[in-house]
Amino acid sequence: MSLQLLLYGTDGCHLCEDAARIVSETVKAEYVTVQEVDIVHDEALLQRYGTRIPVLKRVGGMDELCWPFDHADVARLTRTDYPMENEK
């Protein structure tokens, strides 16, 4: 089973695009699934994350990263036995 992450953001958010790029450069797609969630379509998510996006959350855990975060932060959040993208 792969590690699952949620990336909360919204369309037109350049920081969300930067966050998605950092995540994709850090994790290996065959080991980590990233689902992008647009908070605009859910009032509870909009209330919780509205001013903090992008936010990266590990599914099944309490850990989340609020912007700004970098490759090292994502690597720490996703620390598992799976190799990261830069460990080729």
pTM of the model: 0.87
CB of 3 within 8 A of CB of 78?
A: yes
Q: Residue 85 domain-assigned?
A: no
Q: Residue 86 domain-assigned?
A: no
Q: Structural domain tally of the chain?
A: 1
Rg (CA), the chain: 13
- What is the Cα–Cα distance from 68 to 31, expressed in whole angstroms? 24
Q: Which domain holds residue 73?
A: 3-77
- CATH no. for residue 47? 3.40.30.10
Q: Residue 35 domain-assigned?
A: yes
Helix (H, G, I), strand (E, B) or coil at 8: strand
Q: Residue 39 domain-assigned?
A: yes
Per-residue pLDDT of the chain (88 residues; tens, 9 = 90+): 689 999 999 999 999 999 999 999 999 888 999 999 999 999 999 999 999 999 999 999 899 999 999 999 999 999 865 555 565 5
